[in-house]
């Protein structure tokens, strides 16, 4: 027998006793997982999908159609494509259509609860869940460019968050800094907001690899080619570091994001590669071979939710360099599994990359420490357990209250 205390925000102060060996109440209930892409569901939610189905839930996957659909359906879950979700931009008419589309799906599929991931599903999915009268668990995986910018749309997005999260049964954040920011701004209620360790990592898919497979002095940046990922600082620091140690090499792996205001252009990247400062390795669906060949993985981001690439690098035993910002500092422990540097500080970033490439650098020890850190705090099993607890509590409250 295990005990789970339902928060006051779920309208009870009782502590229910849950028999973990039997699927009480939740058996056969339909849960919807909603995200802004099929790619997101496949790459970040497979562990949760498996865990929910193992607990007896019927799982519905809701996202714009994509090439990952068949692989998602192979999990045994039902995939329902969304027609009205666009990742970028605010279009009131289309967004209203998205709310109504989600509402119809929830009603037609007899959904008991929805788990909303990423920005638009969290906001508009919450409105649809409230209209449908179902339970709603939201996850803020990151804050996004619009929220962090000083543009007029920032105020609108904050207002939408306040209205959406106010009706949620539970709200998860990927790091404590994001949670604190939302609490300070009154965007989410304190008694139903929690931190979860990112999306979790299936450790068996990212085995530890020794440094015998790494190329000495190879520094790797992995991510979308965006200003706020620190791509320009990475290139500027590489330029400085090469002067002092020409044997270091600097590689960039990741896609362009032309619709993003923070995206860099192909012309700018070509200028860097022609200069000989960095090498562009293109885009990879499987980054593990690139991680294996690298000596250190670098992410000089301005802010993160919980950076997946650093979790993958740490799991595979690679030292890391990151900025001392939200999301990154939870993964990179300065002096233990890597180096933390101030954000937008090119000189300090160059120094860290030079330290990583110096003879006698503690890369092996840092790689081992990184693997242990991920094992202890970021496994997909520990993350899935948090969601299972939240969903069980929501459905228990509904059942005992006779529904709402």
2-200+380-401 against 203-377: fold identical: yes
Q: Tokens 């990423």 sit at which residue?
A: 118
User: In sequence order, which residues have a C-beta less than 8 Å from that of residue 28 and are 6 or more positions away?
Assistant: 56, 57, 58
Instruction: Find the helix packing angle between 380-401 and 46-54, rounded to 10°.
Output: 50
End-to-end CA distance of the chain: 28
> How many Å apart are CA 193 and CA 218, to the nearest integer?
40
Q: Please, which residues bridge with residue 59 across strands?
A: 31
Cα angle value 189/192/194 (rounded, 5°): 105
pLDDT at 27: 57
Which residues does 337 contact at the CB level (< 8 Å), separation at least 6? Answer: 314, 319, 320, 366, 367, 369, 370, 373
CATH 3.40.50.2300 fits 203-377, yes or no: no
Residue in the structure block whose two tokens are 């970021």: 378
- Note the pLDDT of residue 339: 98
State which H helix or E strand residue 348 sits in: helix 346-357
Distance, CA of 263 to CA of 258 (rounded, Å): 6
In angstroms, rounded to a whole number, what is the distance separating the alpha carbons of residues 197 and 202?
13
Task: Give dist(CA 121, CA 127) in Å, integer.
Answer: 9
How many CB atoms within 10 Å of residue 65? 13
Tell me how far apart the alpha carbons of residues 189 and 301 are, in angstroms, rounded to a whole number: 28
Provide the 10 A C-beta neighbour count for residue 257: 18
What pLDDT shows up at residue 150?
Answer: 58
* Phi-psi sector, 200: left (phi>0), alpha (psi -120 to 50), beta: left
| pLDDT at residue 12 in the model | 37
- Which single residue is written with the structure tokens 């085995």? 207
Total Cβ atoms within 10 A of residue 320: 27
Query: Any idea which fold 2-200+380-401 has?
Result: Rossmann fold (3.40.50)
Max Cα distance, the chain (Å): 70
Three-state SS at 80: strand
For residues 373 and 80, give the distance between their C-alpha atoms in angstroms, rounded to a whole number. Answer: 36
Helices then strands, each counted (H, E), the chain:
15, 15
Q: Is 220 strand, coil or helix?
A: strand
To which residue do tokens 């996850």 refer? 139
Residue 226 is given by DSSP the state B
Q: Where are the domains of the chain?
A: 2-200+380-401, 203-377
Alpha-carbon distance of 153 to 86, in angstroms, equals 16
Residue whose structure tokens are 């693997």: 371
Q: Cβ distance 157 to 146 under 8 Å?
A: yes
Q: DSSP assignment, residue 212?
A: G
| 75, 49 Cβ separation under 8 angstroms | yes
Question: Beta strands of 183-258 (E only): which ranges?
Answer: 193-195, 218-222, 249-253
Q: What pLDDT is recorded for position 151? A: 61
Residue 16, both tokens: 């229910």
For 80, phi then psi, to 5°, come to: -120, 115
Q: List the pLDDT tens digit at each of the 404 positions of the chain.
A: 232 333 444 433 333 333 443 344 455 799 999 999 999 999 999 999 999 999 999 999 999 999 999 999 999 999 999 999 987 667 788 899 999 999 999 999 999 999 999 999 999 999 999 999 999 999 998 886 666 665 666 788 889 999 999 999 999 999 999 999 999 999 999 999 999 999 999 999 999 999 999 999 999 999 999 999 999 999 999 999 999 999 999 999 999 988 788 899 999 999 999 999 999 999 999 999 999 999 999 999 999 999 999 999 999 999 999 999 999 999 999 999 999 999 999 999 999 999 999 999 999 999 999 999 999 999 999 999 999 999 988 886 555 444 44
């Amino acid at each position: 027998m295990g005990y789970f205390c339902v928060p006051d925000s779920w309208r009870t102060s009782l502590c229910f006793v849950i028999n973990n060996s039997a699927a009480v109440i939740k058996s056969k209930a339909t849960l919807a997982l909603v995200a802004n892409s099929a790619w997101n569901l496949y790459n970040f939610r497979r562990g949760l999908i498996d865990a929910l189905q193992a607990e007896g839930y019927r799982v519905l996957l809701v996202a714009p159609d994509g090439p990952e659909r068949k692989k998602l359906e192979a999990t045994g879950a039902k995939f329902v494509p969304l027609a009205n979700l666009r990742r970028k931009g605010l279009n009131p008419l289309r967004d209203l259509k998205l709310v109504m589309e989600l509402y119809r799906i929830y009603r037609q599929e007899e959904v008991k609860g929805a788990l909303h991931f990423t920005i638009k599903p969290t906001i508009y999915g919450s409105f649809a869940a409230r209209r449908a009268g179902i339970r709603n668990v939201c996850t803020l995986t990151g804050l996004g460019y619009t929220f962090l910018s000083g543009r007029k749309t920032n105020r609108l997005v904050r207002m939408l968050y306040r209205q959406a999260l106010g009706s949620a049964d539970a709200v998860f954040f990927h790091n404590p800094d994001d949670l604190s920011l939302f609490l300070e701004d009154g965007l989410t209620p304190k008694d139903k907001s929690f931190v979860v360790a990112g999306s979790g990592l299936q450790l068996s898919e990212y085995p530890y690899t020794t440094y015998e497979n790494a190329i000495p002095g190879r520094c790797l940046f992995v991510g979308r080619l965006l200003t706020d990922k620190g791509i320009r600082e990475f290139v500027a620091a590489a330029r400085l570091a090469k002067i002092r140690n020409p044997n270091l090499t600097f590689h960039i792996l990741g896609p362009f994001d032309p619709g993003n205001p923070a995206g860099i252009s192909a012309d700018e990247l070509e200028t860097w590669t022609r200069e000989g400062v960095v090498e562009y390795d293109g885009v990879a669906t499987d980054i593990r071979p690139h991680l294996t060949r690298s000596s250190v993985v670098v992410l000089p981001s301005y802010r993160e939710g919980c950076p997946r690439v650093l979790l993958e690098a740490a799991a595979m035993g690679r030292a890391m360099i990151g900025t001392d910002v939200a999301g990154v500092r939870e993964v990179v422990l300065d002096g233990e599994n890597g180096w933390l540097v101030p954000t937008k500080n090119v000189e300090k970033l160059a120094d860290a990359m030079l330290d990583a490439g110096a003879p006698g650098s503690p890369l092996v020890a840092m790689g081992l420490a990184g693997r242990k850190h991920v094992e202890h705090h970021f496994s997909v099993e520990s993350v899935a357990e948090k969601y299972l607890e939240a969903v069980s509590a929501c459905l228990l409250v509904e059942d005992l209250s006779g529904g709402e």
